Amino acid sequence: MFSVCLCARFQSCPQETHLMVVKRIFRYLAYTPLLGLFYSKDSLFNLHPYSDADYGGCRIDKKCTSGTCQFLSNSLVSWFSKTQNGVALSTTEVEYVAAGSCCAQVLWLKQQLHDFGICIDNVCIKCDNTSVINLSKNHVQHFKTKHIEIRHHILRDHFEKCDILLEYIDTLNQVADVFTKPLDNERFSAL
């Protein structure tokens, strides 16, 4: 997913190196036909969202990448990876923006499920940044986070109004890493 999104940025002016990377992606897909997404009809409807970000990890433009994924029980139902538009001043800000995007996606999924007669309450977004979790719980403006409040005040309203919370997850178990940074084969297979 990360590699495909990175290659998609160069659709307007591709070069020979981009073609080589795309061929490598196709070789990977051709030799891994048993990997895929499986959806069980017997699973419960529990929503498990994950949110992560990579601070300035793009080697090309040094922008930050947000990535989220949402599981309905054990089935992946929604995901995205996006380069953030603005320049972030801290890892906390980058992760906070990613968590806000994940929150918006969770609200949309909850509404879709509600339209089908399935009500899900108390969703916990898994995040591996304790500063973001503390910021979402305590909105007192500190001098180190005042810029986040000014730029992204709308995100705070999402966390206050709805029954969505942020919950800590260890970085080793952060599934959304797949959508934010290139991983080695061992780490990718583990996630």
Angle formed at CA 75 by CA 70 and CA 78, multiple of 5 degrees: 35
Query: Alpha-carbon torsion 135, 138, 139, 144, what sign?
Result: negative
Per-residue pLDDT at 45? 75
Per-residue pLDDT at 49? 94
Give the whole-angstrom CA distance, residue 48 versus residue 123.
Answer: 7
Q: Among 1.10.357.10, 3.40.630.40, 3.40.50.150, 3.30.420.10, what is the CATH number of 38-190? A: 3.30.420.10
| 71 touches 77 (CB < 8 A) | yes
pTM: 0.72
Per-residue pLDDT at 50? 93
Structure tokens at 53: 């970000």
Distance of CA 39 to the CA centre of its chain: 21
Per-residue pLDDT at 30? 83
The tens place of each residue's pLDDT in the chain, 191 residues long, gives 667 777 787 888 888 888 888 898 888 888 777 776 666 777 677 889 999 888 766 666 667 788 889 988 888 888 888 777 666 667 777 888 888 888 888 888 888 888 888 888 888 899 988 888 887 776 665 656 655 554 555 556 656 666 788 889 988 888 887 777 777 778 777 77
With 0-12 / 13-18 / 19 or more C-beta atoms within 10 angstroms meaning exposed / middle / buried, residue 5 is middle
Torsion angle of the four alpha carbons 119, 166, 58, 14, in this order, in degrees rounded to the nearest 10: 0
What share of the chain in percent tops pLDDT 90? 4
Give the whole-angstrom CA distance, residue 22 versus residue 20.
Answer: 5
